[in-house]
């Protein structure tokens, strides 16, 4: 989703720290959903 010029340009005006924070939050949410679905 974030590959190529089109995807990366979305974050051109955002601080890299915020990008990592968002990615971390999304990954944690995805892991929580995966654990809930597997049980």
| Domains identified in the chain, total number | 1
pLDDT at 22: 92
Q: What string of pLDDT tens digits covers the 39 residues of the chain?
A: 555 555 556 656 778 888 899 999 999 999 999 999 887
Domain-embedded: residue 27: yes
pLDDT at 6: 55
Residue 7 backbone zone (phi > 0: left; psi -120 to 50: alpha; other: beta): alpha
- Spell out the residues 6+ positions from residue 11 whose beta carbon is closer than 8 angstroms to its own: 2, 19
Domain-embedded: residue 7: no
Range(s) of the domain holding residue 19? 14-39
Q: Terminal CA-to-CA distance of the chain, rounded, Å?
A: 28
pLDDT at 10: 62
pLDDT at 27: 95
Domain-embedded: residue 9: no
Entry pTM: 0.51
């Amino acid at each position: 989703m974030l590959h190529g010029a089109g995807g990366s340009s979305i974050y051109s005006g955002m601080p890299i720290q915020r990008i990592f924070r968002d990615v971390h939050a999304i990954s944690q949410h995805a892991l929580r959903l995966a654990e809930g679905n597997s049980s």
